[in-house]
Amino acid sequence: MFEKLKRLRADRDRAQARLNEAKAKLDEVNERLKAEEASSMVGIVERLGLSPEQLADYLGVGESEKLTAPMNNKKETKSKSTEADAQDKENKGIVEDILDESF
């Protein structure tokens, strides 16, 4: 008498199991993607020969902003000396060359 209900509940349970497996697989793929992105960024910084401090300066991230999103304060980057601007342009060109080679 309740065969249809039993069948539908079984279908629901199988679908829930597949959904849980898919969510676990998505989480795993997202973790691998995040690790690969971080590895790629570290590789670029190493190729440029920048220290973490130099990278922060290049990105325009101040001491108080290092824990927040970068590039929040563009006014600080405009106050760099001309020598630092020349180095930034050179580094930017190198980064663009590396990225062009990667893709």
- Taking only the tens place, the pLDDT of each residue in 87-96 is 666 666 666 6
Instruction: Please give the Cα distance from 91 to 95 (Å, whole number).
Output: 6
Do 48 and 94 form a contact (C-beta atoms < 8 A)?
A: yes
61 class by beta-carbon count within 10 Å (0-12 exposed, 13-18 middle, 19+ buried): buried
Question: How crowded is the C-beta side of 87, counted as CA atoms within 13 Å?
Answer: 14
29 class by beta-carbon count within 10 Å (0-12 exposed, 13-18 middle, 19+ buried): exposed
pLDDT the model gives residue 77: 46
pLDDT averaged over every residue in the chain: 79
Confidence of residue 97 (pLDDT cuts 50, 70, 90): low
Confidence of residue 83 (pLDDT cuts 50, 70, 90): low
Looking at the predicted structure, is the pLDDT value of residue 65 above 90?
no
pLDDT the model gives residue 95: 67
Radius of gyration of the chain (CA): 24
Q: Where are the alpha helices (DSSP H) in the chain?
A: 3-48, 52-59, 74-78, 82-102
